[in-house]
């Protein structure tokens, strides 16, 4: 196997962190930097991802830190912009802002945001964030008149000049339309953890390449970050059982049904949705057959997993190897993280 990425450069690996007791978090991020990881992501589930990343930024020197993702509808674009600038200040210019739309059942049903068109809202959010960051060091920020975000900034006092005039924005995507937005106006694209190898290579890779041509952009203008889900474990039966709840978590969301249908698992997704309505995603795990797990999560020993995910490097600049996390014990998570570390060697 080659050790090069889609652009013929050395492969880059990222990791994931989450809120946890401070001493443990500090130790984990220091180990991540010492191991040579390119960067660390923190997700919004449910609190803002900036909090664990601020810790990581303060105790490291070189590793990049990124929201993976910050939900665009969970806060004002102004707050997202200033949070990103604060994080960039703490990290001294190592921040990447990963943004996504999430699901309306979350943005409206959990975070209480008003109903909006997700793609239009994301475009508006990205425009507003760049507007604020690019003018933050000036005496006055010009008014912003977007579709959803409108602000005159008249009472805003002068802000400190940011570390950088622009912070990279990567767009998280499940389907084609968000991929195209990421390629068109983003600095990168983050593949959803549920992207199967086949979905990545056969469906999304051509979309990325096509949109680059349409937008008149070079491949080097964007970062493609793919998040293959992996459960490296020679005991495949155990790995399958460990992975079912994570599949059920995503399959239990009604807005994901067409995605699972496209993979031939529409019936199973609907059963998971029914389980969520009546109980929780954990109950839905019994509706996830072995073949559904294998479609979305690389299972088996290290060599088998490595072979399974190898094709994603035909489009990926970097990968973030993600283990199943839902209803998985801390001990088992530590085991999988150890296996993933070996997988990258």
pLDDT in tens, 51-91: 999 999 999 999 999 999 999 999 999 999 999 999 999 99
Q: What is the mean pLDDT of the chain?
A: 95
Domain positions in the chain are: 1-167
Determine the Cα–Cα distance for residues 257 and 272; give it in Å rounded to an integer.
10
- Give the pLDDT of residue 272: 97
**pLDDT tens per residue, range 246-298:** 999 999 999 999 999 999 999 999 999 999 999 999 999 999 999 999 999 99
- Per-residue CA distances from 42 to 36, 51, 67, 74, 95 (Å): 18, 9, 5, 15, 12
- Residue 195: pLDDT above 70? yes
- Give the pLDDT of residue 344: 82
Residue among 336, 233, 243, 228 nearest 11 (CA): 228
Mean pLDDT of 39-56: 95
Determine the Cα–Cα distance for residues 43 and 320; give it in Å rounded to an integer.
12
Assign 218 a pLDDT band (cuts: 50, 70, 90): very high
Residue among 275, 279, 2, 255 nearest 104 (CA): 255
Burial of 303 (0-12, 13-18, 19+ CB in 10 A): exposed
Assign 312 a pLDDT band (cuts: 50, 70, 90): very high
Report whether 100 contacts 129 (CB < 8 A).
no
Extended beta strands in 133-288, E state: 144-145, 150-151, 169-173, 188-191, 223-226, 229-232
- Give the pLDDT of residue 53: 98
**pLDDT tens per residue, range 127-183:** 999 999 999 999 999 999 999 999 999 999 999 999 999 999 999 999 999 999 999
Report whether 251 contacts 268 (CB < 8 A).
yes
Q: What share of the chain in percent tops pLDDT 90?
A: 87
- Residue 104: pLDDT above 90? no
Mean pLDDT of 178-189: 98
Q: Enumerate residues 6+ apart whose C-beta is below 8 A from 324.
A: 229, 231, 242, 243, 245, 246, 297, 336
Q: Enumerate residues 6+ apart whose C-beta is below 8 A from 87.
A: 50, 53, 54, 57, 65, 95
| CA end-to-end span of the chain | 12
Determine the Cα–Cα distance for residues 182 and 188; give it in Å rounded to an integer.
6
- Give the pLDDT of residue 105: 82
Assign 1 a pLDDT band (cuts: 50, 70, 90): low
- Residue 345: pLDDT above 80? no
Report whether 153 contacts 140 (CB < 8 A).
yes
Residue among 229, 225, 228 nearest 189 (CA): 225
Determine the Cα–Cα distance for residues 53 and 68; give it in Å rounded to an integer.
10
Residue among 202, 203, 215, 201 nearest 176 (CA): 203
Topology of the domain comprising 1-167: TIM Barrel (3.20.20)
| Lowest-confidence segment of 7-21, 233-247, 324-338 by average pLDDT | 324-338
Q: What share of the chain in percent tops pLDDT 70?
A: 100
């Amino acid at each position: 196997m080659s050790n090069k990425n889609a652009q013929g450069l050395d492969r880059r690996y990222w990791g994931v962190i989450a809120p946890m007791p401070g001493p443990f978090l500090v130790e984990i991020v220091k180990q991540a930097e010492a191991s040579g990881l390119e960067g660390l992501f923190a997700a919004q589930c449910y609190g803002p991802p900036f909090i664990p990343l601020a810790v990581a930024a303060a105790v490291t020197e070189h590793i990049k830190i990124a929201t993976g993702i910050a939900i665009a509808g969970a806060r004002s674009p102004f707050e997202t912009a200033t949070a990103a600038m604060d994080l960039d200040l703490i990290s001294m210019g190592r921040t990447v802002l990963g943004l996504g739309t999430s699901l309306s059942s979350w943005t409206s049903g959990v975070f209480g945001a008003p109903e909006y068109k997700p793609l239009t809202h994301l475009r508006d959010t990205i425009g507003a964030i760049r507007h604020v960051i690019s003018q933050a060091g000036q005496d006055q920020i010009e008014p912003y008149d977007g579709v959803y975000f409108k602000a005159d900034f008249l009472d805003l006092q002068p802000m400190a000049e940011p570390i950088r005039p622009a912070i990279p924005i990567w767009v998280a995507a499940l389907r084609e339309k968000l991929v195209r937005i990421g390629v068109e106006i983003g600095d990168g694209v983050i593949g959803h953890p549920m992207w199967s190898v086949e979905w990545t290579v056969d469906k999304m890779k051509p979309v990325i390449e096509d949109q680059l041509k349409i937008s008149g952009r070079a491949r080097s203008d964007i970062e493609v970050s793919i998040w293959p889900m992996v459960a490296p474990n020679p005991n495949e039966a155990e790995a399958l059982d460990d992975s079912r709840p994570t599949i059920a978590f995503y399959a239990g969301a009604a807005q994901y049904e067409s995605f699972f249908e496209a993979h031939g698992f529409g019936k199973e997704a609907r059963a998971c949705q029914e389980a969520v309505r009546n109980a929780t995603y954990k109950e839905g795990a019994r509706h996830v057959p072995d073949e559904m797990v294998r479609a979305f999560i690389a299972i088996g020993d290290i060599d088998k997993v490595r072979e399974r995910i190898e094709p994603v490097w035909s489009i990926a600049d970097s990968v973030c190897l993600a283990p199943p996390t839902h209803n998985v014990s801390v001990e088992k998570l530590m085991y999988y993280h150890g296996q993933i570390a070996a997988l990258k060697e």
